[in-house]
Amino acid sequence: MQIESKGGVKDLAGTIAAVAFILLASLALWDTTTMTDSDSYVFPRAIAAAMIVFCILLIAYNFINGAGDNAETDAASGAAGVTSTPRRVGLVAAMLLSSLAMPWTGFLLSGVFAFGAIMLFAMYDPWTPRRRIVFPSAALVVVLGFYTLFSKVLLVPLPIGFWFR
């Protein structure tokens, strides 16, 4: 999803992000006006102001230098090969949904759902009969194992869930 620039801006993606950061910093500056104690607002105000200055410098730099080398900054991605956006969205959605459902479903059920859904999104090999048995079994062992470790050994009060009370 690297954003290409064909026009007059060197790093369009970076420029868009810089604009978004200016808006964020402005929002932060506005929020500091509601603070009463100078100890509270001196530091964030200074940081937000510095952020706006750096963003303006970045935008100016990108405009002055014009279109040219679009530095590949996509360090962590596997952008070289074919990538699947639906799988990416699926992973995030599964994690978010299971987390948000946790107060009702409890950690265990949410964990099983998240694990199962993410397993489907991460599966690229064919579902052979062996895999159909081994992978879900492994999923249950991992979820139950961690659940037991955290709730029984480390005594972390994992949510039981409103439905199971």
> Inter-axis angle of helices 129-148 and 85-122, to 10 degrees?
90
Nearest approach in angstroms of CB 151 to another protein is 10
Nearest approach in angstroms of CB 93 to another protein is 10
Tell me, by CB under 8 A, how many residues bind another protein: 85
User: Per-residue string for binding with another protein, 114-143, x by CB under 8 A?
Assistant: xxx-xx-xxxxx---------x--xx--xx
Quick check: 161 binds another protein (CB under 8 A)? no
Contacts (CB under 8 A) with another protein, residues 6-45: 11, 13-14, 16-18, 21, 24-25, 28, 31-32, 35-37, 39-44
Nearest approach in angstroms of CB 129 to another protein is 15
Tokens of 73: 């900054």
Return the number of the residue (32 or 67) whose C-beta is nearest another protein: 32
Quick check: 100 binds another protein (CB under 8 A)? yes
Assess contact for 157 and 105: CB atoms under 8 A: no
Q: What's phi and psi for 137, nearest 5 deg?
A: -65, -45
Contacts (CB under 8 A) with another protein, residues 51-80: 51, 54-55, 57-58, 61, 71, 73-78
Alpha helices in the chain (DSSP H): 12-32, 38-65, 85-122, 129-148
Nearest approach in angstroms of CB 48 to another protein is 7
Return the number of the residue (8 or 19) whose C-beta is nearest another protein: 19
Assess contact for 90 and 117: CB atoms under 8 A: yes
CA distance 86 to 122: 11
Residue bearing tokens 């199971």: 164
Dihedral angle over CA of 14, 15, 21, 27, nearest 10: -160
